[in-house]
Amino acid sequence: MVLIDQVLIEDEVLKEQFVCNLKACKGICCVEGDCGAPLESDETLILETIWLQIKPFLNQKGIDAVENQGTWIRAQDGSLETPLVNGKECAYTIFENGIASCGIEKAFLAGATDFRKPVSCHLYPVRIDEQKNNFELMRYDIWDICAPACKLGAKERVPVFRFVKDAIIRKYGTEFYEQLEAVALYHELS
Number of domains in the chain: 2
CA angle 136, 39, 166 (to 5 degrees): 70
The answer to the question of residue 23 being in a domain is: no
Find all residues with CB under 8 Å of 21, minimum gap 6, and list them: 148, 149, 151, 152
CA 166 to chain centre: 11
The answer to the question of residue 46 being in a domain is: yes
Q: Using CA atoms, how far apart are residues 93 and 101, in angstroms rounded to an integer?
A: 6
Identify the domain containing residue 92 by its residue range: 28-124
Full-model pTM: 0.90
pLDDT in tens, the chain (190 residues): 899 999 999 999 999 999 999 898 888 888 887 889 999 999 999 999 999 999 999 999 999 999 999 999 999 899 999 999 999 999 999 999 999 999 999 999 999 999 999 999 999 999 998 877 889 999 999 888 889 999 999 999 999 999 999 999 999 999 999 999 999 988 776 5
